[in-house]
Amino acid sequence: MKTITFYSYKGGVGRSLALANIATRLAELGKKVCLLDFDLEAPGLHHKFSTLLNKEKIEIDKGIVDYVHEFSNEGRLSNKILDYAYTFFNYGSLSATRAPTVLIPAGNTSSPTYWKKLSSINWNELLFENVSGMGFLLNLKEKIKNEIAPEFLLIDSRTGVSEMSGITLSLLADDVVVFAANNRENIEGTKMIIKSISDPKNNIFSRSPKITYVLSRIPFTNEPADRTKEQNLVAKIVREMDNLIEEVNVIHSDRELEEEEHIKIGSEKEGADLTVSMDYLKLFDKLTKGDFTEGEINLFKRMKDSETQHKRAISETNIQKRLEHINKAIELNPDNKDFFFFRATIYDQFQDREKVLKDCDRAIYLDTNNFRAYELKGRILLKYGDYLNAKLCFERILDLKQDHAGAKLSLAEICVAEKQYDSALGYYNEVIKSDKENATAYIGRANVKIISRNYLAAMDDVYEALTYNTEDASSYAALAEINLRLDNRNEFYLNLERALKLDDKWTEAFIKRKIIQELDTHDKRFLKLLDKYDLHLENGIN
């Protein structure tokens, strides 16, 4: 287990954000990572990964402050550090493995209890007066190694000079990444810290950790004069550090980071300014030099190239070229469910039923909870009248997402096709109960009521649908059908033409399916309407 501590003498230099970026790249490479938030007075790692934690529905209840408090103040040593840890998956579509990331947070910082516990811990007494204190903290690292078994332990240290920063710098770390901004206070403070931790006498193991110096939040510019100024600044800092460091690594700032901090690694946009992303990647290479085999590096390169092809497929407007890009992505990474689903959507545009179903099945094989693949597969099966297998797809979606309106609407459509009208009404009612503005559900229910000859109740549902969607051809078509059944010919033609104006192709199919059988097709008004919209129906008309 390699332990890297991220430290800064002052705050606001992007230390925690850099840690999050390094952790993300490690996860993309399939490495199990443990994150320990030891910036106890201003903890922030849980915010850097808040989207992922929310996705996993993780609520932080306790953390390292609770663990230390139980020992220092209550004399109890927890059996498991895992009781204070939270597991999530920190990767995108690049990852070839499912190596988890484990966060040991500071604790539940929204609770007053957290701050009471933190203020009551006497760190000086724990480290220098309690005979078991040093062993307790070394045991913490050993527990992480044995229970969580990460390949990398990344520690976010407290700023400044304190017992807490001393623990993370001298006691726990193999490597230390020191962050500083370009001002005298930062540079002199970091020099003092680096000098201290570089002296083996100040380390319990009589050794010094490897130190990586990072100058952060430097504005990026392409102007030659400004680039020269940056190089001179870097050289000046190396001289001022009195040979304590060999080089200065630079992480630039950009407008996106100034507006809102977010992880840059893993979200690089082709053709965009990649300066900050590349800065993090260069730092990553420095920190992990010699930690990866050639096979691991080549595997990741293939994953990265496949993601590039995927992004090109997404941005490509030519559907044939889009298919070519996604085929290359799948060739590079044949275990990515998202690639197969994306290709299925392309085959859907080609109306290649067999290939759509084949790719959906592959996406489902790679992820049995892939509800989007079930949705597309079900829609295709429904379109071709395979109601049994379509029903299985939509029922599986409801197993995964019980309130999925689209699945319920499709199941209702299947019930109508199989003349199970009560079941269809049940599904429509469920959707309307959870979403009172779902126009599709109202129209579906109206059509069932039309079949039952409950025309006035059907009309109420259609008007309800029009309240939420005034541009839906199916609503006006339903009104046309109702008025035809009620022998209101003027209203029939008025609403039928409204439907034709909104979607003539759909309405043409509707006329063939539901209207032509009940209408005198030699009616002059009807023939005039056919001619006006150039409609071509069966039975020799037009």
Cβ atoms of residues 302 and 332 within 8 Å: yes
- Domain 2-292 -> CATH class: alpha beta
Single-letter residue type at 493 = Y
- Long-range CB contacts (within 8 A, 24+) of 164-167: 164/38, 164/40, 164/123, 165/7, 166/127, 167/38, 167/123, 167/127, 167/137
Q: How much is the CA Rg of the chain, to the nearest whole Å?
A: 32
The pLDDT confidence band at residue 274, using thresholds 50, 70 and 90, is low
Decide if pLDDT at 268 tops 60: no
Share of the chain above pLDDT 70, in %: 91
pLDDT, position 303: 82
pLDDT, position 97: 58
- What distance in Å separates the CA atoms of residue 40 and residue 64, rounded to the nearest whole number? 9
Q: Which of 62-71, 157-166, 311-320, 439-448 has the least mean pLDDT?
A: 157-166
Greater confidence (398 vs 99) lies with 398
pLDDT, position 171: 74
Single-letter residue type at 159 = T
Cβ atoms of residues 476 and 456 within 8 Å: no
The pLDDT confidence band at residue 78, using thresholds 50, 70 and 90, is confident
The pLDDT confidence band at residue 424, using thresholds 50, 70 and 90, is very high
Question: What is the 3-class SS of 180-200, one letter each residue?
Answer: ECCCHHHHHHHHHHHHHHHCH
Decide if pLDDT at 271 tops 60: no
Decide if pLDDT at 273 tops 60: no
pLDDT, position 499: 96
- The answer to whether the Cα torsion of 236, 240, 242, 243 is positive or negative is negative
What digits encode the pLDDT tens for the residues 174-199? 899 999 998 888 889 988 888 888 87
- What distance in Å separates the CA atoms of residue 37 and residue 59, rounded to the nearest whole number? 16
Q: Is 72 exposed, middle or buried (0-12, 13-18, 19+ CB in 10 A)?
A: buried
Decide if pLDDT at 99 tops 70: yes
pLDDT, position 272: 34
**Can you spell out the DSSP letters for 334-358?**
TT-HHHHHHHHHHHHHTT-HHHHHH
What digits encode the pLDDT tens for the residues 408-423? 999 999 999 999 999 9
Residue ranges of the domains in the chain?
Answer: 2-292, 471-542
- The answer to whether the Cα torsion of 517, 518, 522, 527 is positive or negative is negative
Extract the tokens encoding 38: 């030891």
Greater confidence (423 vs 277) lies with 423
- What distance in Å separates the CA atoms of residue 196 and residue 202, rounded to the nearest whole number? 7
- What distance in Å separates the CA atoms of residue 198 and residue 191, rounded to the nearest whole number? 10
What digits encode the pLDDT tens for the residues 117-142? 999 999 888 878 888 888 888 899 99
Sheet with 33-37, strands from edge to edge, namely 86-88, 101-104, 33-37, 152-156, 2-8, 175-180, 210-219, 249-253
Query: Per mean pLDDT, which of 45-59, 197-211, 309-323 is the most reliable?
Result: 309-323
- Reported as half-sphere exposure (CB side, CA atoms, 13 A), residue 123 has a value of 13
Decide if pLDDT at 211 tops 60: yes
Q: What is the mean pLDDT of residues 47-52?
A: 85
pLDDT, position 515: 87
Decide if pLDDT at 472 tops 50: yes
- The answer to whether the Cα torsion of 139, 140, 141, 147 is positive or negative is positive
Q: What is the mean pLDDT of residues 206-235?
A: 84
Decide if pLDDT at 488 tops 60: yes
Q: What is the mean pLDDT of residues 273-285?
A: 79
pLDDT, position 172: 79
Q: Which of 195-199, 503-507, 509-513 has the least mean pLDDT?
A: 195-199
Q: What is the mean pLDDT of residues 453-481?
A: 96
Cβ atoms of residues 86 and 36 within 8 Å: no
Decide if pLDDT at 209 tops 90: no
Give the mean pLDDT of the chain.
88
The pLDDT confidence band at residue 257, using thresholds 50, 70 and 90, is low
Decide if pLDDT at 496 tops 90: yes
Q: Whole-model pTM?
A: 0.66
Q: What is the mean pLDDT of residues 424-436?
A: 97
Decide if pLDDT at 538 tops 80: no
Q: What are the φ and ψ backbone dihedral angles of 78, each rounded to 5 degrees?
A: -65, 140
Residue tagged 């037009």 (tokens): 542
Decide if pLDDT at 400 tops 80: yes
Q: What is the mean pLDDT of residues 480-496?
A: 95
Single-letter residue type at 175 = D
How are beta strands 175-180 and 33-37 bridged, if at all? unpaired
- What distance in Å separates the CA atoms of residue 358 and residue 343, rounded to the nearest whole number? 10
Q: What is the mean pLDDT of residues 35-63?
A: 88
Extract the tokens encoding 280: 């993090």
- What distance in Å separates the CA atoms of residue 174 and residue 154, rounded to the nearest whole number? 10
Greater confidence (427 vs 519) lies with 427
Greater confidence (351 vs 131) lies with 351
pLDDT, position 75: 86
Decide if pLDDT at 161 tops 90: no
